[in-house]
Amino acid sequence: MSRAHSVERLPSWAAKTVLKSIRVSPQKLGLVVDLIRGKSVDEALTQLSFCKKRIAADVKKALWSAISNAENNHNLDVDRLFVSSAWVGRELILKRHQPRAKGRAGSIKKQFSNLTLVVTEIEA
């Protein structure tokens, strides 16, 4: 028997975006997400633009999506937005094997992640 999922309600001054099944390990994605958590949106976009990690481009797209959600769906001011919370979740793991010496097999884990970004408007 599965448990009922709780529906998270955001306040009217916040907007959220979720990326699911990103082909990167949660540890690597967490390093990039830690760069932008708690910063203003323009500062976070600047950090992601100059970050050398491959996944930073996908996080930047997700941040742009959250900004668009805030502007179009919640009528928030883009200049006063900041990344209030950002977290990474673990998705499925594909298990593969690579042949090794003496007939053995080495295991390869291909991990996937989920990303959730919440942007909030700063009180005036």
Please report, for the domain that includes residue 22, its CATH number: 3.90.470.10
In a domain, 9, yes or no: no
More confident residue, 1 or 72: 72
More confident residue, 12 or 5: 12
Q: What average pLDDT does the structure give for the chain?
A: 93
Range of the domain at 79: 14-121
Q: Compute the distance between CA of residue 41 and CA of residue 29 in angstroms, rounded to an integer.
A: 18
Q: Compute the distance between CA of residue 36 and CA of residue 16 in angstroms, rounded to an integer.
A: 15
Q: Compute the distance between CA of residue 56 and CA of residue 32 in angstroms, rounded to an integer.
A: 6
- Average pLDDT on 93-99 reads 97
Number of structural domains (the chain) is 1
Q: Report pLDDT for 6.
A: 65
Q: Report pLDDT for 11.
A: 81
How sure is the predictor about 51, in pLDDT bands with cuts at 50, 70 and 90? very high
- Average pLDDT on 93-122 reads 96
Torsion of CA 101, 107, 108, 109, to 10 degrees: -170
How sure is the predictor about 7, in pLDDT bands with cuts at 50, 70 and 90? low
How sure is the predictor about 64, in pLDDT bands with cuts at 50, 70 and 90? very high
In a domain, 90, yes or no: yes
Predicted structure pTM score: 0.87
In a domain, 8, yes or no: no
In a domain, 3, yes or no: no
- Average pLDDT on 18-45 reads 96
- The number of CA neighbours under 13 Å toward the Cβ of 112 is 10
In a domain, 7, yes or no: no
Q: Compute the distance between CA of residue 88 and CA of residue 22 in angstroms, rounded to an integer.
A: 10
- Average pLDDT on 66-86 reads 94
In a domain, 21, yes or no: yes
